[in-house]
Amino acid sequence: MTIQEKYGFRKVLNTRGPATILGAARVSDPVRKEIYDILGESVEIWELQRCASRKISQLTNAEAGCVVNCSSAGMAVAAAAALTGRDPAKIKALPDITWPRKKILIQKGQVTGAGDCPVWQVIKMTGAEYVEIGEALDCATFHLRAALDDTVAAAFYVMEDTFAPNLLPLEIFVQICHEKNVPVICDAAYLTDFTMLAAAGVDLAIYSGQKWLGGCTSGIVAGRKDLVHACFLQEMGIGRPMKVGKEGIVSIMASIDNWLNRDTEQIETFQKHLASNIAEAVSDIPGVTCAVEKSLYSPSVRLRMEIDANTTGISAWTINEDMGRLDPVIKTDDYYVSRGIIIFDMAYLDEGDDRIIGGVLREYLTGERKSAPGKSGASDVPKTRQDTLYEMFDAWLDGDPRG
């Protein structure tokens, strides 16, 4: 009996990658073994965190590091550390800030989600005065310089590949902030180059331990030793509800070893094989174009499939939504489905999954498989990702989140 059969939930063929909503990373056997071993032991958490700091430094080239329970928690803890330093009275006072340095800046065009809650919410829960600078599509050096006065405790920078091109690049952002002695906190949850931020002078970098690194639910804060120390001290304050357990800390250490010793060539060869099989299944269908892509934010092979609904008679949106109703469920990187693009990430597919997915796609695109009727009164216009997410969350206990 599978675990799905035992507890009554559906298997997922995950072509989205390590999304939290899909359970994040598929943790490898060696990492699971170390998690299993620590679960049967008692340990002093400070000492385990000290061991983790050495491993994090090895991965990132930062002075120090600590483990938190996710990257969103890392953002909150890092913001708190910038506000309080290592002062225990200030740590205990948050979110009530009575001292001058209480502002945290971010470029308006980088306001995104910390997971699926807005980044400003994660920052403001510390009590910080949240300040957006620049405009949605532009931020100039004069915007940043004008904002950096003696009331600013830190500035946030978000690493993504989809922001407007006229925002301040990281190097210039860091340089200007450091001219005013303002530390830079960088949200890099999906970043897979773990050394570039320390090299760029970022004071605190936040990485996900549960995404590409391959650990269980956890996050990493890496950077200046004094600020990392202040992050750990938030255990005495608002960081307490975000504390990480021994299993999360050990999973980070094991995952770092696994990451640094992985066979990237073998992994990429296998993933290209899977992507080629999916693309081949629909290669003769007019209106479908496939291309393999990689990015700084994904170490895996990704298949980009563009679907011309006028030619195929079915939209990418319709296919993507209907695959979420199947058994097994097929989940994709769906950020661009409203533009006719479905992205399939190969990171968590096994041999044979490619044939299932390719066959299902072919059935939709040839008309052999019909999509299920939509909800009563539903619009043919694609819903936004956040609307879809809310509807699913709203129906999770009573109702049908699959529509």
Measured CA to CA in angstroms, residue 185 lies from 112, 159, 197, 364 at distances of 15, 11, 10, 45
For residue 297, what pLDDT is reported?
A: 79
pLDDT for position 377: 43
Q: In this structure, what DSSP letter does residue 324 have?
A: T
pLDDT for position 114: 72
Task: Please report the pLDDT score of residue 376 as a whole number.
Answer: 41
As a whole number of angstroms, the distance between CA 72 and CA 242 comes to: 9
CA 7 to chain centre: 27
Q: Which of 225, 95, 112 is nearest to 159 (CA)?
A: 112
Residues of the chain with pLDDT under 70: 374-380
How distant, in Å, are the alpha carbons of 16, 125, 335 from that of 9? Answer: 19, 34, 25
Planar angle of CA 319, 320, 321, nearest 5 degrees: 95
Distance separating alpha carbons of residues 158 and 150, to the nearest angstrom: 23
Structure confidence at residue 177 (pLDDT): 98
Question: What is the model's pTM?
Answer: 0.93
Strand positions, DSSP E, 6-92: 12-15, 64-68
Q: For 327-378, what is each residue's pLDDT tens digit? A: 999 999 988 999 999 999 999 999 999 999 999 999 999 999 988 776 544 4
